[in-house]
Amino acid sequence: MKSLTFRAVCLTSLSLLAAGCAHEEATSSNQTFFEHVSVIDGSGAAAQPNMTVIMQDGKIVSVTPDASATPPAGATIVDLTGKTMIPGLVSDHVHVGLYEGTDVGSKHFTRNVILRQLQQYERYGVTTVVALGVTRSPLFDDLRREQHAEQNPGADLFGVDQGIGVPGGAPPAAMMHVDDEQVLRPATPEAARAAVDKMASEGTDLVKIWVDTFTNGVAGKAPMPVMSPDVVKAVITRSHEHDLRVAAHIHDLHYAREMVADHADILAHGVRDTAVDAALINAMKSGGVWYIPTISLDESIYFYADNPDILSDPELTHGLSSELRNRFADAGWRKKTLADPQTAAARKAVVMNEHNLFTLYTAGVNIGFGTDSGATPLRIPGYAEHRELRLLVQAGLTPVQALTLATGQAAALMHLSDRGVLAAGKRADFVILDADPSNDIGAVDRISQVWRGGRQMSLTQ
C-alpha cells in the first residue's frame, strides 16, 4: 500500500519531487534479507537457528524461519550462515564527556569527545546509551536530539540533564573535577524543586539523585555529607509532578531502602555493603522499582591491574587510548593499585553485588543493564558493557538471561518500546556475532557487523 501511495504522488508531481519519489520507490520495493542466521531476539527466548530477518526502511519487517521467507526480486540478500544476531545492546547507566585519555574534568564535556565515545559504544555493539547525569546544557540536549535523528555516527543518546547532587558531597566535585553547571546542588527543598523544574524545562529523560557517603566500603574513609531527607522528598515529588522518573545513586542497603520508601523509580547501582532482604525485595516489586547492578564498576578498579595480559586482547585494545595503555602497562601503577584499600573493598563489593543481583533477579524484581562506564577512564565505554555481561553470568545468570537484561529489559527500563528486541516493527538495531553466545558469553566480543536504524555502522575508528 505504501509504495502505491508513493507512485500515485509521483504521477501527479512535477520534476521538483522526482528525485524523492525515485528514492521512495527504490527503498519501498527493496527489502534486505538476513538469511541463515541464529537469532537471540532479546525477549528471553533461546537462540533460534536457521532464521531470516527481513529489514526495510530502518525497521524489522519480520523474523521467520528460512523456509518461510521468499525474497522478492530486487531484495538484498545477506548470507549469515554460522553467525548469530542479537539486538543492539542498551546501557542504562553510562556517562559521556567526563574524561579524555586518563585526564578527568569538565573541560572534556565537548561535542568531539562525546561523539567519539558514542562511536566507541557503537563499535562494541551498544547502540543506545543513557547518560545518568553530570552533563552540560545545551550541548547535551542538542546531542540527544541529533542522535535520535541519526545525524551523527555513534550510539543513540538519552539521559539526565545535570542531576541533583549534594553541596560538598556526591558526586564528588574534587575527584571528578566537575563544575557547578554539570551538577545542581540544592541545599533546600525550594531550591531542589527549582532544580527539577530547570531539568524538566530542558527535556531531561529522567532525574538523577546521589544518596551515598562515597566511602565505598573503605574502612576509615571520611564520609561525605548526604542529601537531607527533605531535599530527597522534594526532588522525587517534584519530578513525579513533571511525570519524570527518578534514578538514585546508592551503594548501601539502608539508602536503597530509603529510596524505595521515598518512591524513587530506579536504583542506578547494585547494593554492595550487605545482602538484600525480603523487605527490600517486596518493596521493589510492589513499587515496580528497577535495579541496575553495575557490577563492572567496582571490578574496573582492579581488573586491569590483575590482568596485565589483557593488553594483548584486540577486543580491549580497540577501546584503549595510548594514555590508558601506558597506565595499564606500568608495573608501578599495578602494584600501587593492588595495594590500595579501595581495591580490597571493590573485590568485596563485586561479590556482594553479584550475590544481590542473583537474589533480586530470581525474586522477579525488574532488572536493567548498565555499567557507569565513562565516569572514569577505567570504565571503558563499550568494553565495560562486555565485562558486565560476563559478570552477570558469573553471578549465576545464563548467557541468554544476561543478554536479555542488556537488550529487551534495558529498553523496557527506559520505556523504549521501539527497540531492545528483534521483532516486526522494531528498529533495525542489531549486532551480528561470529559465534553463538548462548553457551559462552565471551562470544559478544566477536562482533562482525553493527546495524543501527537499518544502516551498517563502521567498526573502524
Residue closer to Zn ion, measured from CB, 92 or 372? 372
35 or 372: CB nearest Zn ion: 372
Compute the least distance from the CB of residue 294 to Zn ion, in Å.
8
Q: Is the peptide bond before 65 cis (omega within 30 degrees of 0)?
A: no
Pair 387, 299: CB distance under 8 Å: yes
Shortest Cβ distance from residue 184 to Zn ion (Å)?
16
92 in contact with Zn ion (CB under 5 A): no
For the record, the C-alpha cell of 412 comes out as 523496557
Between 266 and 443, name the residue whose CB sits nearer to Zn ion: 266
Query: Do 74 and 29 touch, CB atoms closer than 8 A?
Result: yes
Closest to 328 in 3D by CA, of 348, 346, 353, 311: 311
Sole window of 70-78, 297-305, 371-379, 383-391 interacting with Zn ion (rule: CB under 5 A): 371-379
Half-sphere exposure (CA, 13 Å, Cβ side) for 354?
Answer: 19
**Distance of closest approach, residue 198 Cβ to Zn ion, in angstroms:** 20
| Contact window for Zn ion (CB under 5 A) among 6-14, 298-306, 317-325, 368-376 | 368-376
Residue with cell 527497540: 419
Lookup: cell for 20: 524523492
Residue 220: all three cell numbers together:
576509615
Residues 257-296 that bind Zn ion (CB under 5 A): none
Smallest gap, in angstroms, from Cβ of residue 280 to Zn ion?
A: 21
The count of chain residues that interact with Zn ion, using the rule CB under 5 A, is 2
State the minimum distance, in angstroms, from the CB of residue 228 to Zn ion.
21
Site string for Zn ion, 372-401 (x = CB under 5 A): x-----------------------------
Please report the sign of the dihedral spanned by the C-alpha atoms of residue 440, residue 40, residue 447, residue 306. Answer: negative
Dist. CA 406–CA 248, nearest whole Å: 20
The least distance separating Zn ion from the CB of residue 131, rounded to whole angstroms, comes to 9
Reported for 107-114, long-range contacts at CB under 8 A and 24+ positions apart, including other chains, are: 109/135, 109/136, 109/139, 109/182, 110/139, 111/139, 111/143, 114/139, 114/143
| Least distance CB 206 / Zn ion (angstroms) | 12
Q: Which amino acid is at 83?
A: K
- Whose Cβ is closer to Zn ion: residue 232's or residue 375's? 375
For the bound state, the minimum distance from the C-beta of residue 95 to Zn ion, rounded and expressed in Å, comes to 6
Spatial neighbors of 191 by CB under 8 A, at least 6 apart, are: none
Query: What is the nearest approach in angstroms of Zn ion to the Cβ of residue 284?
Result: 20
Nearer to Zn ion, 239 or 449 (CB): 239
Using the minimum distance from each CB to Zn ion, give the nearer residue, 178 or 244.
178
Which lies closer to Zn ion via its Cβ, residue 354 or residue 372?
372
State which of positions 124-153 bind Zn ion (CB under 5 A).
132
- Contact region with Zn ion (CB under 5 A), list: 37-45, 305-313, 370-378, 391-399: 370-378
Find the residue with minimal CB distance to Zn ion: 372
- Taking the least distance from each CB to Zn ion, the nearer of 212 and 372 is 372
Nearer Cβ to Zn ion (195/268): 268
Place of cell 527506559: 414
Specify whether the CB–CB gap between 247 and 210 falls below 8 A: no
Site for Zn ion, residues 220 to 259, rule: CB under 5 A: none
- Sequence-distant (≥ 6) Cβ neighbours of residue 4 within 8 angstroms: none
**Rounded distance, CA 263 to CA 249, Å?**
14
Nearer to Zn ion, 132 or 357 (CB): 132
Contact 370, 268 (CB under 8 A): yes
- Distance in Å, CB of 398 to Zn ion, minimum: 27
User: Residue 132 or 231: which CB sits closer to Zn ion?
Assistant: 132
Q: Which of 431, 427, 272, 442 is nearest to 345 (CA)?
A: 272
CB 208 within 8 A of CB 268: yes
User: How far is residue 139 CA from its own chain's centroid?
Assistant: 20
Kindly tell me which of 132 and 170 has the beta carbon lying closer to Zn ion.
132
Q: How far is the CB of 392 from Zn ion (least distance, A)?
A: 18
Q: Which three cell numbers stand for residue 295?
A: 557490577
Grid coordinates in use for 223?
A: 564520609
Q: Smallest distance, Å, CB 269 to Zn ion?
A: 8
The answer to whether 271 and 253 are in contact (CB under 8 A) is: yes
Looking at this protein, which amino acid is placed at residue 401? Q
Distance CA 412, CA 90 (A): 10
Q: Which residues bind Zn ion (CB under 5 A)?
A: 132, 372
